[in-house]
């Protein structure tokens, strides 16, 4: 991969420059990269990651909200050269993700004078952008200086610590991190229900982390989850409390100190879901097992999930589920109804990994 470290200021060095990020939220560092790209290319494609995922403390804003915030920071002439499109994560399959990026750029890049377009991938010189730059050797790499002292994760923490914390930050310090139009968008967001829910989740997370504050080292949690499929349906539970209230999740939970992983998974199906399938039948239906360990997969911190895939024999009647008093509500969900934004944490990607579901083709 060739590398162009310093912009020369020449117009249209590239037909197209591609910038990949999550923009949670779009800050001055992101805008510096986009402005550098607009100076170097006729067209700039901004791929917005973590699209269509459920709101969470890590991903508070939906794609359309982030697109509006990015566009609000540029004038009409610049926006005419910006393509801002969503990109679905593929947490456990880099090849699927790379294919999606390549396909979107191929479909959006416009050559000049019927020749192959000159395409580059632009990003900051450190952090996640550096990793992206290494995945596409067919494109030139353009590295721009990193804007120091701006952290999207710290911005989110200040916004969701409490109402007072958000008001103080947006009134006093936000101008150091965010352009004024984005600050205005975030002020409006504070009046919406999702903001209240995220503040509640942040408070729960603070309480959760304080319980481990005196531990000699950061804890690593081990959980299990079950992917139970029959006749084109997958078994899910609807969460009744934060975090992820109202979202679907795979049945599962933490392991007990004296049990094996498989035993913990079967216990969760037996005791919490009351799945009416004999244990020998479940064991005989096991078709796969895998550890899911993406570092940011859980709001709790470093949490590993051992998932078991059970493929039950097709039948006209789906196994009955007996509700558990005070527990999450379980139901069989048709595979065609699965949407990333309706599932908790990385559970959509766990299901996708076992079942080979196609990557989302929305644009």
Peptide bond into 243 cis (omega under 30): yes
- Give the 3-state secondary structure of residue 332: strand
Q: 92-97: long-range contacts (C-beta < 8 A, 24 or more apart)?
A: 92/292, 92/294, 92/349, 92/350, 92/353, 93/353, 94/135, 96/359
Instruction: Say what the pLDDT of residue 110 is.
Output: 76
Peptide bond into 144 cis (omega under 30): no
CB-based contact 251:273 (threshold 8 Å): yes
Instruction: Say what the pLDDT of residue 359 is.
Output: 61
Instruction: Say what the pLDDT of residue 156 is.
Output: 96
Instruction: Say what the pLDDT of residue 130 is.
Output: 58
Instruction: Say what the pLDDT of residue 247 is.
Output: 94
Per DSSP, the residues of 93-162 read -HHHHHHHHHHHHHHH---STTS---EEEEEESSTHHHHHHTS-TTSEEEEEPPPTT--HHHHHHHHHS-
Q: 113 Cβ partners below 8 Å, 6+ apart?
A: none
* pLDDT profile of the chain (363 residues), mean per 10: 42 88 95 96 96 94 98 97 93 88 91 77 70 81 84 94 94 93 96 94 91 90 97 94 91 94 96 92 97 91 96 92 70 94 95 82 48
Task: Determine the Cα angle at 72 with ends 133 and 24, to 5°.
Answer: 50
Instruction: Say what the pLDDT of residue 185 is.
Output: 96
| Encoded tokens for 33 | 């990269």
Backbone angle region of 230, left / alpha / beta, with phi > 0 → left and psi within -120 to 50 → alpha? beta
Alpha-carbon distance of 310 to 28, in angstroms, equals 47
End-to-end CA, the chain: 28
Alpha-carbon distance of 90 to 348, in angstroms, equals 10
Instruction: Say what the pLDDT of residue 133 is.
Output: 66
Alpha-carbon distance of 55 to 186, in angstroms, equals 15
Alpha-carbon distance of 223 to 184, in angstroms, equals 40
């Amino acid at each position: 991969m060739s590398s162009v470290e310093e912009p020369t200021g020449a117009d249209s060095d590239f037909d197209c420059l591609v910038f990949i990020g999550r923009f949670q939220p779009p800050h001055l560092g992101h805008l510096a990269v986009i402005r550098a790209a607009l100076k170097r290319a006729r067209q700039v494609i901004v791929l917005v990651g973590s699209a269509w995922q459920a709101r969470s403390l890590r991903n508070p804003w939906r794609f359309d909200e982030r697109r509006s915030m990015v566009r609000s920071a540029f004038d009409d002439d610049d926006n005419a050269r910006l393509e801002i499109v969503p990109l679905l994560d593929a947490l456990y399959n880099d090849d699927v993700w790379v294919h999606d990026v390549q396909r979107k750029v191929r479909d959006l890049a416009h050559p000049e004078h019927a020749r192959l377009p000159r395409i580059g991938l632009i990003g900051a010189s450190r952090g996640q952008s550096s990793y992206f730059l290494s995945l596409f050797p067919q494109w030139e790499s353009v590295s721009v200086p990193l804007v120091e002292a701006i952290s999207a994760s710290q911005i989110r923490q200040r916004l969701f610590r409490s109402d007072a914390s958000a008001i103080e930050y947006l009134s006093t310090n936000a101008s150091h991190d965010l352009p004024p139009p984005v600050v205005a968008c975030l002020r409006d967001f504070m009046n919406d229900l999702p903001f209240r829910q995220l503040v509640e989740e942040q408070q729960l997370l603070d309480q959760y982390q304080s319980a481990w504050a005196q531990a000699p080292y950061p804890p690593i949690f081990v959980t299990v989850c079950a992917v139970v499929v029959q006749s084109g349906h997958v078994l899910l539970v609807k969460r009744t409390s934060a975090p992820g209230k109202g979202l679907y999740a795979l049945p599962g939970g933490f392991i007990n100190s004296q049990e094996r992983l498989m035993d913990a998974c079967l216990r969760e199906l037996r005791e919490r879901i009351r799945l009416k399938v004999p244990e020998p039948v479940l064991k005989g239906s096991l078709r796969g097992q895998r550890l899911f360990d993406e570092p940011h997969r859980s709001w709790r911190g470093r949490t590993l999930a051992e998932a078991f895939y059970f493929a039950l024999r097709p039948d006209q009647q789906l196994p009955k589920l007996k509700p558990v008093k005070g527990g999450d509500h379980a139901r069989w969900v048709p595979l065609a109804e699965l949407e990333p934004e309706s599932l908790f944490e990385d559970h959509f990607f766990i299901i996708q990994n076992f079942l080979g579901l196609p990557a989302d083709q929305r644009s």
